[in-house]
Structure 1
Amino acid sequence: MIFAANFKTNHTRSSTKLYLDALSQKIAAKKSEDQVYIFPPATALDHYKGDFTLGAQNAYPTQNGAFTGEIGLDQLEEFDIKTILIGHSERRELMGESQEKVAEKFDFFKAQGFEIIYCIGEPLEVREQGDESVNIYLLEQFEGIDTAYEKLIIAYEPIWAIGTGRSATMEEIVSTHKALRKAVACPLLYGGSANPDNIKEIAAIENVDGVLVGSASLDAEKFASMILS
């Protein structure tokens, strides 16, 4: 299983260090095949030691340059970062990233050999139209994306379930991941209010290879309990 923690705009460098020190101790007994990814905010990127992979929530597709407020390869290379989230719904919705821009980022970081967790998801109005509409909407988010890239992980996050405390039903997760599996062979993560209470049920679903966790990952003890469940 893959357990990925997206801190979003939470934690500082000092609190991230304390978090990772605590998490490393708690997950020492995890299954050897389980993988843990941590995505802190850019200001908390640093050299940390532990049985986890550190990644960037976002970066601009450039080595460096005149891109105010962004970070590029120079900043990521300083901390040996080779993993990145691309396409998260909050970047698409709040930051206005188009599919064209998302695909541009994907191509750039693919060329740099990054491991990419690529996020897709649908809004509530699409979900209410039924499975067929959901599947069409999700597959459109693969436009310009090399789904055969060997370092690709896909995270399915129903937008209406992110940070709301409402997870998709097990039936919705089953049907959506089954449809995605027909389209791609890479690992598939579920995101959208995954937490210690529902992790066992979600992890048992066929075609779910892990979870991308938001608010439930902010506490090291809670996240560790999910990993060790």
Structure 2
Amino acid sequence: MAALGERFRAAREARGLSLSEVAEQIRIRSVYLAEIEAENWAAIGAPVYVRGFLRTYGRFLGLDAEEAVAEFNGTAAGAPVSEMNDSAAREDAARPILSPLTWIAGVVAALLVAFVIYNFFSLRQPSGAPAPSALETALPSNSPIYNAKKSPQLVPTPVSAPQTLAVNVASGSWLRVTVDGNVSMEGTFPRGTRREFHGKTALVRVGNAGGVEITVDGKPIGKLGAIGDVVERRFTL
């Protein structure tokens, strides 16, 4: 049996297609297609991306995509030790990234909490305060003077409902969506796929940034990059 990369190249040439023509139709960069045919797996990246590209490219050429993935898994690049490294890379990618904006937001939130606590205790009457004067005692509760002397009441801040992040696949792409630390969507999805997620934070990683559109709470964010770009972005909902 011919080598895996050679079978892909032969199937493509049998259809009279160039790498650029295939790239235009399946939205995978031609440089990655060339690396598949050369079996240069390290140049593509993590094994999870190699498998996604093999499935998409194989199905387009009419090859057995799962057989191609299984053959890749039998190579050194797809061996179990690489799977362990791939899992570790996924865990690292899923860990929260404390950007300067996130740090500033945390400081502002802490100051706001401190301000509310300070106002709460400053508005409370000390236990050793003198008793109300005779005038205050004689005033009815509905008197304007009585009402003016009453301390203002703290109004609790309403808790906002979780916002929505929507993912719309305009062109086939591998992607993973992690919401509040849990993987909610992962795999290679065809054009027309649409999903909505609710939570506080979302980490979106796409293998074809130009083929995936993001909307947050009804506001279009647009595409995260160009066709074939691998992009990861965090959203605070």
* TM-score normalised by L of structure 2: 0.24
Of structures 1 and 2, the one with the larger relative CO (CA 8 A, separation 6+) is: 1
Q: Which has the higher strand share?
A: 2
* TM-score normalised by L of structure 1: 0.25
